[in-house]
Structure 1
Amino acid sequence: MQQQVPADRGQRRTSPFRYGVGMFGTSIPINLIKGSMLYFYVELLGMDATVFAGVYAIYGILDAIDNPVFGYLSDRTRSRWGRRKPYLVVGSLVLLGAMIALFSVPGSVAASATSLVIWFAVFAILSEMADSLINANYGALLPELFPAERVRASANGIRQGAQLVAMILALGLTPVLAQNVLGCPVDAVGCTDPTVGYSRLAVIFGVIGVGVILYMAFGIRENPAIADEKRPPFFASIRQIVTNRYFWTIGVVNACYGSAIAIVLNGLQFYVRYVLGGGGLEATILQVAVVVGAIGMLALWARAVRRYGAERVWKTALPIAALAFVPIYFADSLLTAVLAGLCIAVGYSGVLATNDLIMARVLDDDARRHGIHREGIFLSAFGVLGRLNGLIVAGALASLTLFFGFRNGADPGDDPATAFRVYLSVYPTILLAIGTVVSRFVHVPGWNGSDDDSGDGVSEHGGSPRAERVETFRGDLGD
C-alpha cells in the first residue's frame, strides 16, 4: 500500500503525560461531587433521603440522555481548534461554576425544603452535564491520539494513576479537610455551620481541576486527517451502535462496575459515621488507604496486562472485585475496615487498569468496519448504560428508607449501621457479580482480528484514501 504524506507532518505530537495528567483535572471535581453530595445534602442540610433519591434518579436519566448528544456534536465538529478541545474548555468552566454553587447553599435556600431541592436539582444536573461534556471528549481522545497499543497503554496508565492521585485529594482528604481544617464537624461544640468547609473545598478543588484540564486541552494535537472524513450521521450511528453486540455486553459490565463504585463513593462517609462511629479523620484514613492500595496494585495489574492481554486480565479482575466487597460488611473497627478496604483496592485497580483498553479496542473495531471515526458518540452511547447508574444508586438509597427507616442525619432510623453495611457491601457485590457473569460472554476485538494485546497498533484497513491517511498517521506515532 502506498501511503500518503500525513496531514500532521512537522507538527508536535501529544505527550502521553500531557494527555494522561488531564485525568487528574477531570477527576477532582466529580469525585468531590460523587463522594460528598449525598452527605452534604442529607446529613448536613437535612434533605430527606427519598427526596434526594428522586432528584438523583432524574440526574441519572438526564446524564444518560445528554451523553450521546454531546458525543455526536463533538464527532461532527470541525474547527481550527480541533473536534474535542472547544468542548473541554467550555465544559470545564461550566463545571467550575456549577460545582461551587452546588456546595455553597445560601442560608435562605437551606431554610426552605422546597428551595433546597430546587437548588440541589439545578446545580447537580448542571454539574453532571458539564462533566458529561468533558468526559465525552476526553475519553474519545485516547484511541485517536495513541493508536499504537503500547503507547496507548502507557497513556492510559498515566491517566489512571492521575485519577487515583485525584481520588486521594477529592475523596480521601475531603472529610478531614472539610470537617477539621476548613470547617468543623457536625457534632462539634460551637459548630454553627458544618457546610462551610465543603463550600471552601469546592472552590479550591474546582480551580485546581479546571487549571489542569485547560493545561491538558491546550497541549493535545488531534489527528488533522480526520477532519477530511464524512461527518457521522446521528440516527444511523445510533442504530449501528445499539445493534453492536459489544454495546449490550461490555456496556452492561461497565454499567455494573460504575454503579458499584458510585454507591461506594456516595455512602462511605455514612458508613464511617454509623458503622465505625468515626468522623472526618477516620473517613480520610479509610479512603486514603484504599486509594493508595489501588495505586500500588495498579502497577502489578499493568504488568499482567502486558503479559496476558487486557481481555484475560479484565475477566479475572471482575470476580475479584465482586468478592472484595464482602469483607467490608463484617468490619467493626477502623483497622478491620482498612484491611477490608485494601481488598476492594485489589479488585478495583484491576478493572481500572483494563476497562479503557477494552473500550478503545471496541472503538478501533468500529472505525475499521465502518470507515469513520466517531469515538465521541460511540463512547457516549456506551455511557448511556453507565450513566444510568444514577437510577441504581437512587434505588439503593431509597431502599434504605424502605427497609431500615433511614431518612437523614436527624432521622437515621433504628439501625443505620446495618443499612450502610448493606449499602456499601451487599449492593456492590451483587452488581459486580452480574458484571462478571456477563463478561464471560464477551470476546473483545483485537487489532488484527486477534486477541493479542502486544501488537503494535497497526491493522489492515483496505485501500481507501481515508484508511491510508489514518494508517500513515498511526505509523507516524508508532512506539
Structure 2
Amino acid sequence: MSDTSDVTTAARTPPWRYAIGMLGTSIPINLVRGSVILYYVDILGLDVRAYGIVMTVYAVIDAIDNPVLGYLSDRTRTRFGRRRPWLVVAGPLLAASMIALFSVPSGLDGVGLVLWFAVFAILCEAFDSMLNANYGALLPELFPVEKKRAVANGLRQGFQLVALVLSLAVTPLLTTSVFGTEQTTDGFRTTAALYGVLACAVILFMTLGIRENPRYATHERPALWSGILAILRNPLFWKVGLVGACYAIAMGLVLSGVQLYVRYSLGLRVENALYLQAVVILVSAAGLAVWTRVVARRGALWTWRVAYAVLAVSFAGLFFANSLVTAMIAGAVVGIGWSGMLATNDLIVARVLDSDAATHGEHREGLFLSAFGFFGRLNGVLIGLALTSLGVFFGYNSGADPGDDPGLAFRMYLCVYPFVLTTIGAVASRFVSVPAPPADHAVAAGGDGSDGDAAGGGSDGAGPDPADQEPAR
C-alpha cells in the first residue's frame, strides 16, 4: 500500500480524539514528578541520598524493561490493534501505583519508608513507560503527513498543559488547603485518588476512539535483538536522544523543584506555587498555536532549534527573581521557550521513526520509543544526583535538615542546572538533521491530498525550510 493510502487512512481518527489521551497519560506521572520530593523528602523526611539511590536502581531496571515493553507492543497482533490493548491495561495500573505512592501508611519510616517509595516509584515509571510507548507510537502512524501531525501534536501538548494545570498548579492548593495542610500528607492521598479516576476515564475514551492502520502491523513481527542492534547503529538515535535528554532532564528538574523553590527561594507558602505554575502553563498553552504555525512555515527542525535557544535563555530570569511577581514574569519567558519545545520535540522523534521504517521496512515504533525512553530515564538518575548535590554543596538533606541556605540551593536546582543543560542542548541541536516524513514527499509529488489540512496546511504556508529536509548525516 502506498504512502498516499496512509494519508487517507489517517482521516479515520480525528486529531482531537487522539490528542485528548495526553490529558490522561500526563496527570499521574506529573503528579509524581511534581510532588514526590515535597511529599517524601520535605514532609516525610526521606534522606536525599536514599532518594538518589532509588532513582539509580530504577534506571537499571528501566534500561531492561523499556525495550522489552516496546518489543512486545510491536509484536502484538489483535483485532483491536497493536497498541490499544496495552493502553487499556497500562492506564489503570499506573493510576493504582500512583495512588499507592502517595498513601504511605501512618508511622512508616526508616527502611520501610525507603522500600515503599522504591516499589511504587518504580511501578509508576514502569507503567508510565508502557502507556507512553504505545501512545507515542500512534502519532506517526495515525498522522503520516507532518502538517497534520503538527496539528495533532499541538493539540495533545495543549491537553498536556491542562494536565499540568491540575497535576502541578492546582495540586498544592488541593493538598494543603482543600484536603490537607502544609505539613500533613492526607491531602495527597485524596488528590491522587481523584486524579487516578480522571486519568483512567480519559485514557479509555481516547483508546476506544482511535483506529490503527492495519498496514503497520506487518505479517513479519520485528525481532528483539536485531531490532535493538539496528537502533543502536542508527546515528540519529544517539543524536536526537542525547540532545532531547538535555531538554527532558532540565524540565524534570523544574517540575520537581518548583514547590520547594517557592517555599525556600521565595520564602512563600507552598500553595503560592499555583500562581507561578499557572503563568508558565498558560503562556505555554497560548504559545503552542504560534509555534505550531511556525512549524508549518519553516519546518520542525528549524523551529526546534530556535525554541531550544529561547528556553535556555529563559532560566536566567528565574534565578534573580526575588518575589512572586518577578518569578511569574520570569516564568512567562520560560513558558514561551517550553511551548516551542512541546510543539517540536516529538515531531523530531517521529521523523526518526519514519526514517527507520522507510529504511528497514518494519514498523517498530514501540521498540524505538522505548529505546528513546532510556534517555528519558536518565532524567530520574540526574534529578536524583542533582538533589543529592544540594546536600553536598548547600547542606540540604531533607525538610528536617535543610542546611544554612536552602533558598540558594533551590535556585541552583531550578535555574542553574536547567540553564546549563538546555544551553548544551541548544548548541548541539545545530548539528542534528533529520529527513522529512516520507508521506510529505508523496503529497508533494501529487499524491492524495484529500485528508483536509494534512496535505495543504493553508494557502499562507511557505513550506519547510530546505535545510529541514536534508538527508540524515
- TM norm structure 1: 0.90
Matched, 1:55 2:54: yes
Partner of 2:182: 185
Please provide the CA RMSD for this pair. Answer: 2.3
Q: CA deviation at 1:475?
A: 7.6
CA 1:388 to 1:198, structure 2 compared with 1: closer, same or farther past 3 Å?
same
1:399 and 1:218 mapped to 2: Cα distance? 45
Partner of 1:161: 158
Partner of 1:234: 224
2:6 and 2:156 mapped to 1: Cα distance? 27
CA contact (8 A) 1:61 1:391 kept: no
Q: CA deviation at 1:177?
A: 1.1
1:408 and 1:421 mapped to 2: Cα distance? 16
Matched, 1:81 2:84: no
Out of 339-348 and 7-16, give the one that drifted further: 7-16
How does 1:303-382 map onto structure 2 within 5 Å? 303-382=293-372
Q: CA deviation at 1:157?
A: 1.1
2:376 and 2:171 mapped to 1: Cα distance? 25
Q: CA deviation at 1:184?
A: 1.2
The structure 1 residue matched to 2:140, chosen from 125, 138, 143, is: 143
Q: CA deviation at 1:8?
A: 12
CA contact (8 A) 1:26 1:209 kept: yes
Partner of 2:408: 418
The structure 1 residue matched to 2:278, chosen from 284, 288, 307, is: 288
CA contact (8 A) 2:172 2:274 kept: yes
1:147 and 1:262 mapped to 2: Cα distance? 29
CA 1:80 to 1:262, structure 2 compared with 1: closer, same or farther past 3 Å?
same
Residues 48-105 of structure 1: CA distance to partner in whole angstroms, max 9, x if unpaired? 1111111122223333332211111100110122100111111111111111100011
CA 1:65 to 1:27, structure 2 compared with 1: closer, same or farther past 3 Å?
same
Partner of 2:18: 19
How does 1:369-448 map onto structure 2 within 5 Å? 369-447=359-437
Residues 251-296 of structure 1: CA distance to partner in whole angstroms, max 9, x if unpaired? 0111111100111111111100001111233111111111011111
Q: CA deviation at 1:10?
A: 10
State the AA in 2 paired with 1:40: Y
CA contact (8 A) 1:318 1:347 kept: yes
CA contact (8 A) 1:267 1:420 kept: yes
1:146 and 1:307 mapped to 2: Cα distance? 18
SS at match of 2:209: coil
Partner of 2:69: 70
Q: CA deviation at 1:150?
A: 2.1
Matched, 1:263 2:253: yes
CA contact (8 A) 2:22 2:160 kept: yes
How does 1:35-50 map onto structure 2 within 5 Å? 35-50=34-49
The structure 2 residue matched to 1:213, chosen from 199, 203, 217, is: 203
Residues 380-413 of structure 1: CA distance to partner in whole angstroms, max 9, x if unpaired? 1111112221111111011001001111111100
How does 1:3-14 map onto structure 2 within 5 Å? 13-14=12-13
2:6 and 2:275 mapped to 1: Cα distance? 51
CA contact (8 A) 1:294 1:349 kept: yes
1:37 and 1:243 mapped to 2: Cα distance? 36
Partner of 1:276: 266
1:37 and 1:121 mapped to 2: Cα distance? 12
Out of 203-212 and 4-13, give the one that drifted further: 4-13
2:437 and 2:44 mapped to 1: Cα distance? 52
2:395 and 2:367 mapped to 1: Cα distance? 41
State the AA in 2 paired with 1:218: L
- TM norm structure 2: 0.91
2:348 and 2:389 mapped to 1: Cα distance? 33
Q: CA deviation at 1:326?
A: 1.1
Residues 22-68 of structure 1: CA distance to partner in whole angstroms, max 9, x if unpaired? 00000111110000011100111111111111112222333333221
State the AA in 1 paired with 2:359: R
State the AA in 2 paired with 1:174: T
State the AA in 2 paired with 1:130: F
Matched, 1:124 2:114: no
2:241 and 2:28 mapped to 1: Cα distance? 24
Partner of 1:467: none
Partner of 2:469: none
Residues 207-261 of structure 1: CA distance to partner in whole angstroms, max 9, x if unpaired? 1011101111111111112333311111111111111111111101111111001
2:171 and 2:37 mapped to 1: Cα distance? 14
Q: CA deviation at 1:19?
A: 0.3
State the AA in 2 paired with 1:282: N
CA contact (8 A) 1:6 1:225 kept: no
| Unmatched runs of 5 consecutive residues or more in structure 2 | 456-473
Q: CA deviation at 1:448?
A: 5.2
Q: CA deviation at 1:5?
A: 12
Q: CA deviation at 1:12?
A: 8.1
SS at match of 1:228: coil
CA contact (8 A) 1:65 1:384 kept: no
State the AA in 2 paired with 1:177: L
Matched, 1:176 2:173: yes
CA 1:178 to 1:84, structure 2 compared with 1: closer, same or farther past 3 Å?
same
Residues 307-338 of structure 1: CA distance to partner in whole angstroms, max 9, x if unpaired? 11111010111111111111111111101110
